[in-house]
């Protein structure tokens, strides 16, 4: 194993300890979230420093220590000052406001690259073009924020699935090529961890999907964190099915020195495929179901992140998101621990 990989593993191990406050391999029998996604849009990108300070205070109150910015730009707009040709940036310099709030509350940030297109491509993906744009973006982001103690790592928002892997192999090959090259580039330039968050379909062949990651993807992608979406919120998958997937992936990620994290969905889809033909619509999850999602996976990982705070768990958005936030806050205030395996 090379020196860089050993250093990244050491950093991840240290941060895992920091996130979960583990002592003598003790973690809560009903584990807590350690991180959440934030998905930026025109509305949140227009907010001022006081607004972001308030959001990070709320995150700190429920013991969130890590925020994943899903993407730092979309289509032709970035949320930081960019000089990439064809891109404009919002005048707020949103990322700087977020870094200020994160540093104030001792919260770490994983920055997602601008999407420059579809998050879940199934028809076309140009690896070389995406590499060119993403390398330029990573260079800019690292120059701007490398001095911040809150910069923890990088996230590539392109999402692989079993459907893409087995039914759209040309696309999946392009995405693998992109991720392999970009992960190497991020490591060589910044020596910081890289994370992706794939998902799985309703009719996934669990064994075949785990084998594909073991034999095809992870040998090529020097990945640090594989944060699999549980798919429960989208109603693609059941809690029981998610548990089976994570149990199949645990030995695979251990073999490749990759940390397995759970991206548990804190929403409930009410419109859109696979429910109906309407546009996607979702509401905040009920706390009982959300708790079951986390508990089901506690023997395969001790790192739980969730999508997404501003829309589904922000206590100031609406009564439903306030209810989820309040109920979750009440749940994690109850002391309860048991021993689990905290290694890869």
Average pLDDT value for residue range 39-57: 97
Q: Is the pLDDT of residue 147 over 80?
A: yes
Share of the chain above pLDDT 70, in %: 88
The pLDDT assigned to 8 comes to 63
Pairing relation of β-strands 225-229 and 281-284?
unpaired
The pLDDT assigned to 70 comes to 98
| pLDDT mean across residues, the chain | 90
The pLDDT assigned to 344 comes to 47
Average pLDDT value for residue range 322-341: 73
Global pTM value: 0.91
Of 4-8, 25-29, 200-204, the one with minimum mean pLDDT is 25-29
CATH number for region 3-15+30-332: 3.20.20.80
Q: What is the pLDDT of residues 69-115, one digit of tens each?
A: 999 999 889 999 999 988 999 888 999 999 999 999 999 999 999 99
- Place 341 in a pLDDT band, splitting at 50, 70 and 90: very low
């Amino acid at each position: 194993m090379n020196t860089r990989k050993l250093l990244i593993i050491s950093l991840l191990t240290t941060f895992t300890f920091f996130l979960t406050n583990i002592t003598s391999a003790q973690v809560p029998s009903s584990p807590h979230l350690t991180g959440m996604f934030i998905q930026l849009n025109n509305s949140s990108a227009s907010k001022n420093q006081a607004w972001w300070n308030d959001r990070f205070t709320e995150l700190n109150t429920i013991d969130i220590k890590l925020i994943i910015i899903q993407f730092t730009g979309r289509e032709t707009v970035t949320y930081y000052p960019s000089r990439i040709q064809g891109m404009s940036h919002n005048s707020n310099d949103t990322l700087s406001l977020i870094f200020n709030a994160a540093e104030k509350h001792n919260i770490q940030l994983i920055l997602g690259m601008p999407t420059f297109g579809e998050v879940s491509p199934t028809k076309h993906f140009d690896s070389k073009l995406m590499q060119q744009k993403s390398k330029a973006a990573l260079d800019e982001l690292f120059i701007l924020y490398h001095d911040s103690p809150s910069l923890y790592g990088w996230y590539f928002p392109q999402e692989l699935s079993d459907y893409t892997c087995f039914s759209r192999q040309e696309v999946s090959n392009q995405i693998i090529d992109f991720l392999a090259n970009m992960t190497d580039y991020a490591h060589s330039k910044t020596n910081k961890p890289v994370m992706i968050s794939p998902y799985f379909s309703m009719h996934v062949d669990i064994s075949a999907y785990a084998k594909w990651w073991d034999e095809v993807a992870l040998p090529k992608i020097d990945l640090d964190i594989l944060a699999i979406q549980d798919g429960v919120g989208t109603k693609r998958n059941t809690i029981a099915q998610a548990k089976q997937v994570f149990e199949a992936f645990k030995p695979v990620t251990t073999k490749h020195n990759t940390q397995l994290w759970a991206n548990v969905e804190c929403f409930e889809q009410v419109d859109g495929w696979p429910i109906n033909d309407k546009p996607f619509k979702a509401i905040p999850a009920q706390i009982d179901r959300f708790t079951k999602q986390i508990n089901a996976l506690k023997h395969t990982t001790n790192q739980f992140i969730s999508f997404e705070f501003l829309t589904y768990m922000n206590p100031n958005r609406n009564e439903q998101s306030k209810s989820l936030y309040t109920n979750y806050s009440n749940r994690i205030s109850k002391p309860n621990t048991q021993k689990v395996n905290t290694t890869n």
